[in-house]
A and B are shown apart, each in its own frame.
Chain A
Amino acid sequence: MSSDQHLRVSKIQDGTVIDHIRAGQALKVLRILGIDGTNDEQVTVGMNVSSDRHGRKDIVKIEGRELNQDEVDVLSLIAPNATINIVRNYEVAEKRRVDRPEVVEGVLSCPNPNCITANDEPVSSRFEVLDDGMRCRYCEQIVSEDIPSLIDPE
C-alpha cells in the first residue's frame, strides 16, 4: 500500500510525492522536472524501494512544490505508472494517476536542427504523443529515445 511506503521516508509538510516510478527512473524524473540541486527545493529520492505491487520502485518527494498539469503530463512519458500525491499540511490533498496526454505543448524542444522551432520564432513546441514516441507538429520528426534530454531549459 502506498500509505505504508510513505512511512519509510519522512513525511513532507507541503509539496509533491511522486510514487510508483519504475525502479531506476527517479533521476530521469528529476531531470524532467528540472531539479538538479541548485534550487531551494528539499528533495528526497528513494531508489529500488520495496513495493508490494512493483517489486522495486523509485519514489521522489519534493518539499514546497506542487507539480502543475503540464509537468504531470510530461512525467507520464517516462513514468506512466507513477502516482502524484499533492501534500498540504502533511496530508494528501490530491491524489491522481498520470494520464498519457495526446499532445504536449511547450516543455520539450524539438531535437531536429532543421525544424522551424529551432529558429528564433515566437512559437511553442508542440508534440503529438504516439504509442512509441512523440512527434513534432512542425517538422513531424518522430522521437522515441531519451525524451528527458528534450526538456526545454526555460
Chain B
Amino acid sequence: MHLDHLVTSKQLSRADIETVLDRAAEIDANPGAFADRYPDSVLGLLFFEPSTRTKMSFDTAMKRLGGDIVDMGSVDSSSVKKGETLADTVRVIEGYADALVLRHPKQGAAQMASEFVDVPLLNAGDGAGHHPTQTLLDLYTIRENAGLEDLTIGIMGDLKYGRTVHSLAHALTNFDVHQHFISPESLQLPREVVYDLHQEQEGTQIREHDSLEGILPDLDVLYVTRIQRERFPDENEYQKVAGEYQIGPDHLEDASDDLTIMHPLPRVDEIAPEIDDTDHAAYFEQAHNGVPVRMALLDLLLSNAGGETDE
C-alpha cells in the first residue's frame, strides 16, 4: 500500500483495505510486537470540531506504537481564532509532526490541506464529506463479525449528512456486498455519493428504501446512524421521523440470529439499551477497534514515509 495522504475511502483499493485490516489483526493478536516501533515519531492532531472516539483512539494508537502526539487543542485557544487560514495552520504544524490528523467542519478541507503538506495527512472527518479511518474500523468490525464476502448490509438513518455512511458505502463497493440504504426522504444519500456508487457497482447491488420493514430479515449487518435534531425545522417533525428509524428488541424478532448491529456512536436513542447485552450488538467493539486499526494505518503510513523500516 502506498498512499501519500488518506482523504477519502475512494482512494482505497480492495488490496489496500485488506492490508490495513490484516495489519490490524496482527496488532490485535500481538500488540507487544508493535510497541516502541516509532519512538521518535510525533503525530499532529488538528481537530477543528469536537471529537471523542476518533481523537482519543488516534492518541492512544500513536502512543501504543511508541510515538507521541502534539495537539492543536481547541480552535478557541489556537491561532485559528486570530484568523489563520487552514492552509497556513497545516503548513506550520507539519514542521512539528511526522503525520497529521485533521477534522474540520468544511467539506473538502482535508483534500485542500493535503495539497499544502508533504507529511501524510489523514482525514478524520470533513463536514458532511468523508471519514475514511472510521470506515477502516467499520470494515474491520464487519469482517470480524460477518465477513466481507456475500454480505447484505442495511445502512440506516441520516445518509445525507452522515460522513461515515458516505465513506463506508464507497469502500464496500470493493467487495461482494448488497447495500440497502434506509432513510427518510429528506435525508437520502447525496446525489454525488449515488453517482459514485453507480460508477463503481451495478445498480442492482444498491437499493434505497424509506423503511426497514421487509428488509431486516435479509440483513447480515445493520449499520445505524444518528438522525440529528438540527436537520429538522421543528421538534415534532424530528420526533416523528426519528422514531421510525430506531431499533429495539421488538424488531429483532424479524432479524437473523446472526445479525450484527453497528453504530459509529455517539447514539442518542436510535438503538435501545436492551440490545446492548445481546449478541447482535457490535458498536462498542467497533469503537474499541479504532485503536488497532489506526495503529495499523499509522504503521503503514509512517513506514512508507520513512519513519521506520517496515519489517
B-contacting residues of A (Cβ < 8 Å)? 112, 114-123, 135-142
Contacts and interface: CB of A to CB of B under 8 A. Distances in A.
Contacts of A112: 107
Interface of A is mostly: loop
A30 to B, nearest CB: 30
Contacts of A135: 192
Nearest to A118: B106
Contacts of B30: none
Contacts of B85: 119-122
Sorted from nearest, which 8 A-B pairs have the closest CB atoms?
A138-B108, A139-B107, A116-B108, A116-B106, A139-B108, A116-B109, A116-B112, A142-B192
Interface in B166-216: 190-192, 195
A134 to B, nearest CB: 11
Interface of B is mostly: mixed
B254 to A, nearest CB: 36
Contacts, number: 57
Contact of A119 (B106, B115, B126, B195): B106
A137 B190 CA distance: 16
Contact of B127 (A114, A121, A123): A114
A118 to B, nearest CB: 7
Contact of A139 (B86, B115, B129, B191): B129
Contact count band on B: 20 to 34
B195 A114 contact: no
15 contacts: A114-B107, A114-B127, A115-B108, A116-B86, A116-B104, A116-B109, A118-B106, A135-B192, A138-B107, A138-B108, A138-B111, A138-B112, A139-B127, A142-B191, A142-B195
A139 B105 CA distance: 11
Given A114-B127, A139-B129, 15 more contacts: A112-B107, A114-B105, A114-B106, A115-B106, A115-B108, A116-B126, A118-B106, A121-B86, A121-B112, A123-B115, A135-B192, A138-B108, A139-B106, A141-B192, A142-B192
A113 B241 CA distance: 26
A115 B107 contact: yes
A117 B195 contact: no
